[in-house]
Structure 1
Amino acid sequence: MVWFVVAVPLAIVGLLLEPRWVGWFVLVWFLALVGLTLGLRIGENRRRHAWADAAGQLGWRLSASGDELLDRWPFPPFDVDREAEVTEVTSGRHRGREFWTGRFRYKVRRRELGFDFLDLQVDRPLPPLQVLPAQLAPVAAASLLPLPITVDGLSTQYRLFNGREDHALAVLHPRAAEALAGVPEFGFSCEGRRFVAILPAYRDSGTALAQLDAACDLLDLMPEQLWRAGEQWAATRS
């Protein structure tokens, strides 16, 4: 599709300017597209190998898929596509918490979307809440309507897609904002005993490990009022 979107205007311009050069214009664009595609694949393979090496050194487990994880997330955006896929899963233990991380792929009205996820173990329930940075909103919450929120200490614009605004601001208190400010931005969804960080895809291993630490910080710094709110919410569901 991208090839035709650019090739057709090039061909038209070539015909208007110099018909003899039309073929060369299209060929040059085709070669550039092939080179870009190869470069992206080479870069992705390098990131995968670097992550596999880091996971191996830390004693974590790698698997090609993790469809069984889909049953763990009965809330948006994970429940919008019954044919969604979870791939490239890594599982293990970090800072005393079990975790699962990988890639989530799904469709909304034939539009293919996806992001990386990080599912962290929690011992107490949390209230329904989804907060995402603006850059992740198109791929992680395409079917939901956002409420803009401003977080002191963070320049990133965040959006609230589920839950209460006062809960979101309570989670992103100054100490939590300080922990998040040191890494590339990411969002999260939680509900009950599920906390899932939502991350941009195609991250290098250093960024992924830093965001893993920041997500653990976010849970470690979770205010008691959120745990109490989660317990109250869970009581109404039983």
Structure 2
Amino acid sequence: MTAAPVSHRVTGPRLRSDLAWQLHQGAAIVYVIWFAVAVPLVIAGLLLEPRWVGWMVLAWFLVLIGFTVLLRVRDSRRRRAWAEAAGQLGWRISASGTDLLDRWPFPPFDVDPKAEVVDVTSGRHRGREFWTGRFRHKVRRRELGFDFLDLHVERPLPPLQVLPTALAPVAAAGYLPLPLQIDGLPARYGLFNGREDHAMAVLHPRAVEALADVPAFGFSCEGRRFVAILPAYRDTTTALAQLDAACDLLDLMPEQVWRAGEQWAATQS
């Protein structure tokens, strides 16, 4: 069973991908800060003059706790909505997918040997097998992450990594891209791996049109692996729209790119 392609424009995230990731990951430690720091400060502030200082500290940390609870509630609703959609479409959900890491011996998945794959959903969409979930890795002691979408391809592709600049801090931290000047894309894109002519061939006008109506995402491919790289913490509508757009990108892949992939694969054997 497959979903109908999404034709309307989907609103993109308000925050940059790395900021959104840090915000959600950091929310859990607010409670630790509260008990380790805030309580002594509040007690001291209420006992000493002027007492309004203690009340201000108390109010500030109450706001932080309220914000943390709001994030947790929204994440819970997001997970529940995705689980309901996946169930209706006959897809399978699992807590982790460590075996998937062996499928991606290329950037950005090969940087951290201790990387993790969690919240995996697998199934078929528009005739293609797929695996999607969250990828967590550490770069220079920073814990980063993004969502991935691994789509089955019948023929090999050349090594290529193309990302919108907003995703670079979580999926290509520390790398300098080659800017891609392509009209019509929903964001600025850069080439982080592979040849520029291959990237320009993939992002031809019809492919750009398919990408224009969804929040910007990138991809990394090599051989018989094509993995879309997406911002974390997306809602179900956005995730389904980007799934359709990624399928469109493969359906519209030029023959010259497939041939380049076959030539590259021949040199690896």
Q: TM-score range by the shorter chain?
A: over 0.9
**Secondary structure of the residue that 2:240 maps to in structure 1?**
helix
Matches within 5 A, 1:182-201: 182-201=213-232
**CA distances 1:48-68 after superposition (whole Å, capped 9, x unpaired):** 000000000000000000010
% of aligned pairs identical?
Answer: 79
Query: Does 2:175 align with 1:153?
Result: no
**Secondary structure of the residue that 1:185 maps to in structure 2?**
coil
Aligned position for 2:112: 81
Structure 1 distance, partners of 2:82, 2:216, is 19
**CA distances 1:76-102 after superposition (whole Å, capped 9, x unpaired):** 110011111000000000001000000
**Secondary structure of the residue that 1:124 maps to in structure 2?**
coil
**Secondary structure of the residue that 1:135 maps to in structure 2?**
coil
Number of residue equivalences:
229
**Secondary structure of the residue that 1:198 maps to in structure 2?**
strand
1:219 CA displacement: 0.2
Segments of 5+ residues of structure 1 without an aligned counterpart are: none
Q: 1:208 aligns with which of 239, 243, 250?
A: 239
1:20 CA displacement: 2.9
Structure 1 distance, partners of 2:115, 2:55, is 42
Aligned position for 1:114: 145
**Secondary structure of the residue that 1:113 maps to in structure 2?**
strand
Structure 1 distance, partners of 2:50, 2:162, is 53
**CA distances 1:109-140 after superposition (whole Å, capped 9, x unpaired):** 11000000000000100000000011101001
Q: 1:21 aligns with which of 48, 52, 56?
A: 52
Normalising by structure 1, we get a TM-score of 0.92
**Secondary structure of the residue that 1:42 maps to in structure 2?**
helix
Matches within 5 A, 1:69-148: 69-148=100-179
Q: In 1, are the aligned partners of 2:138 and 2:144 still within 8 Å (CA)?
A: yes
Aligned position for 1:226: 257
Normalising by structure 2, we get a TM-score of 0.82
Structure 1 distance, partners of 2:109, 2:246, is 19
Q: In 1, are the aligned partners of 2:186 and 2:215 still within 8 Å (CA)?
A: no
**CA distances 1:130-164 after superposition (whole Å, capped 9, x unpaired):** 00011101001014221111212224100110001
Aligned position for 1:53: 84
RMSD after superposition: 1.8
**Secondary structure of the residue that 2:166 maps to in structure 1?**
helix
Structure 2 distance, partners of 1:29, 1:169, is 50
Q: In 1, are the aligned partners of 2:186 and 2:216 still within 8 Å (CA)?
A: no
Matches within 5 A, 1:171-190: 171-190=202-221
1:207 CA displacement: 0.6
Structure 2 distance, partners of 1:200, 1:155, is 14
Structure 2 distance, partners of 1:155, 1:184, is 7
Segments of 5+ residues of structure 2 without an aligned counterpart are: 1-25
Structure 1 distance, partners of 2:163, 2:55, is 45
Comparing both chains, which one has the higher relative contact order based on Cα–Cα distances under 8 Å and sequence gaps of 6 or more? 2
1:88/1:155 CA distance change after superposition, 3 Å: closer
Structure 2 distance, partners of 1:155, 1:198, is 15
